Amino acid sequence: MRIFTATTVVLVALLAGGCARPDTDVGGTDPWPLPSGPAPVVNARWESCDKAAPEYADAQDGLTLPPLDSAFQPVAAVICRTGIQQRPGGGTEMTAVEARADDLSTLLPALRLPSEQATAQACTADLPAVPWLALIDKDGRWIRPGIPVDSCAKPRIEFRKAYEKLTTVEVETRVLHQLESDEAATAGCAQTYGDMTWASGGFENVQENTLAPLPSRTSARRCVYDVPVKERGTGKPAGNFRAGGPLTTTNWAAIRREIEAAAPGQATCATPASRFAVIHLEPGGTVNIEGDGCRRILAEPANGPAVYLAAGDRLIELVFG
């Protein structure tokens, strides 16, 4: 389920006369009459985002829910969303966040606006973020109000600006899953990386190319990945980070000698690798090496064409040992 943060909506000015609905009628007329359609479903006491939206369903359904009426009197709002946070060790993780807002003076008038008819002749293809929003009354009951839309069936600009101006406090933050491990962040490697040797091998034969000289003085970084069984043999196998980090000048010199002395290799291969390494060269270029399978090298230096070579035992030991 997608959860959207308030930072994704557009900033605009406050609603004119933005104030909460008075508890009594003004001049004998209810300024917020009951809609003629169905009323929002009133749920029992609010517990948490984890309970109310455990699968984080698509919040776009908020555009079709019944609108807020005068029968339900909210005192607070809760937003369920996801976010990315960094760990002390440098890695990142996806989190589920529950945030609460107690000042609804601007939000409620915007929610009570009617939806416009879909009469616009030209609309942009983008869809502004729709938050997973719940309103809570003094007894702890809650509803999900419908979000009014404009003539392009998008959230009305009045709602977007009011939502952006909500002051919220995070009630709970829960880790969903890891995005980047501390080890990958420290090594300067991506958490996942595609096996380009396999992905490119079936599409071009570059055996006739000659390896351009690899830089002797360079900043080189080694990133080693394990390929899960389910990924092996797919169009672009995704490997998971296992080890890596900057290469010393001595290590890179030894690896470079083995690559430049390698025999030509076959571009095509029928045996997918269970591990591979990527050596990133600065200011540009990469060398991809299969740790097993067909043990191919795909060298793509910045100053020359891509070349397939055959990895020898010593190179495998230097890179994966």
Q: Where is average pLDDT lowest: 42-56, 78-92, 191-205?
A: 191-205
HSE-CB at 13 with a 13 A cutoff on CA atoms is: 3
**Exposed e or buried b per residue across 127-166, where buried means at least 16 C-beta atoms within 10 angstroms of its C-beta:** ebbbbbbbbbeeeeebbbbbbbbbebebbbbbbbbbbebb
Highest-scoring range by mean pLDDT, 1-5, 33-37, 52-56, 217-221: 217-221
Written as one letter, the residue type at 171 is V
CA distance 121 to 123: 7
Which residues lie below 8 Å from residue 41, measured CB to CB, with a gap of 6+? 66, 143, 144
CB 68 within 8 A of CB 108: yes
pLDDT tops 50 at residue 99: yes
Provide the pLDDT confidence category of residue 36 given band limits of 50, 70 and 90: low
Entry pTM: 0.66
Q: SS3 for 186-225, per residue?
A: HHCCCCEEECHHHHHHCCCCCCCCCCCCCCCCCEEEEEEE
pLDDT score, position 122: 85
CA distance 112 to 67: 7
